[in-house]
Structures are given as C-alpha cells and as structure tokens.
Copies of this chain bind each other. A is one copy, B any other.
C-alpha cells in the first residue's frame, strides 16, 4: 500500500525503500511519532525478504530518520522532517546537476534543456494532481 518497488531495476531494493520513506517524511505523509510497518508486514506486502526491509530500516535509523523501540517497532523521529527535506533537496539537486552535466557535455543547448524541463515538469505536475484527485475520491 505504501511503496512501489521495482525489483528488476538497477537501484537496490533497500535503497528504494530508504528513498521513498525519506520523501514521504519530507512530503508530510509520514509524520513524527508515527509507526512504520513492521519489517515482516512490509516484506509480506511487497513480496520481499524481511532482511531487505530491515536493512533499509537500519540505514534510516543511521540517518536519524527512524527510531527503534525494541520489541515494539519503529517510529518516525520528531525532528526527521528537517533532515528529510534537506536530503530531498540534495537528492534532486544532484539529479539535476548530473542531467545538466550530461546535457552540456553532449552539446545540448540551454534552450533545448529549458524546453525539456518545462515539458516534463508540466507533465508530471498534471499526473501528480490527477493522482491526488483520485485519492480524494476514494474517501467519498
């Protein structure tokens, strides 16, 4: 229910979990004090080994996003949103940086880049809006 995993992709599964959890915290979907699904439950939902989930949670614990309550579960730290928004900014900045480096190194024009960026931004903004409306309809 929470996350979408691409097991065939080149990015490790545990890293996808880490990224999506951080983005969810930055977006406000996951708030401080809230419990996250247990490793076995999430592993069952995603058809993934528990160890992979545990590894992701451990990394999130090292990054001070989650907090472990032994024997009970893991919760989102109250001050996690600060770090997560910061991490999100660094993440997209790095992505934009790399894409721009490739584009300019390949002789792409700044104007072509702006056009591509605006087109993609409009497309994904529309998609995000539509998905938001769909989830809103689910409650009616």
Q: Indicate if the CB atoms of A121 and B108 lie closer than 8 Å.
A: no
For residue A100, which residues in chain B have a CB less than 8 angstroms away from its CB?
92, 120-121, 124
CA separation between A91 and B23, bound complex, in Å? 24
- Given A92-B113, A98-B95, verify A124-B107 contact (CB < 8 Å): no
Most chain B CB within a 10 A radius of its CB, from A92, A101, A108: A92
**Number of chain A interface residues as a range:** 35 or more
The one of B84, B92, B104 in contact with A103, judged by C-beta atoms closer than 8 angstroms, is: B92
For residue A117, which residues in chain B have a CB less than 8 angstroms away from its CB?
96, 117
For residue A26, which residues in chain B have a CB less than 8 angstroms away from its CB?
106-107
CA separation between A114 and B92, bound complex, in Å? 12
CA separation between A28 and B28, bound complex, in Å? 46
